Amino acid sequence: MPKSKRANRPDAKAAALYVRVAHANEDAALCQEESLRQYAEEHGHRDMLTYVDNGISGIGFDRPALNRLQEDVAAGRISTVIVRDLSRLSRSFLELPDWINEIRRKGVSFISVMDGTTDEFFGSVSI
């Protein structure tokens, strides 16, 4: 599974495609990744980095790929985080707004494709 389709420009910021599948299933992860890639391309994103947690619960925020994504956000490599739906990012809906607001404070946009959720949805949440 390709992990990056990012141009070789040091100043380029990528859209982060975050995939999580609770029970290890390569086909489900690939399907989720392809739908995110298609969405990103249709919305003008050309530089993409993919982060896949396959077979990992969404209860906590301590996951290998999610940790790498957070490191890339902190390093300024990411412009937008795109997930299939909010449950792919977390099953902890009490902590979810805090996580999203943290990346937004760093200038990163957030999109949950199936939920129709973008930054505007979280606009009423104090950041």
Domains along the chain with CATH numbers? 14-121 (3.40.50.1390)
Instruction: Give 102-112 pLDDT, tens digit per residue.
Output: 999 999 999 99
Return d(Cα 29, Cα 92) in angstroms, integer: 21
10 residue type, one letter: P
Identify which has the larger pLDDT, 2 or 12: 12
pLDDT at 94: 84
Contact present, 19 and 33 (Cβ < 8 Å): yes
- This prediction has a pTM of 0.84
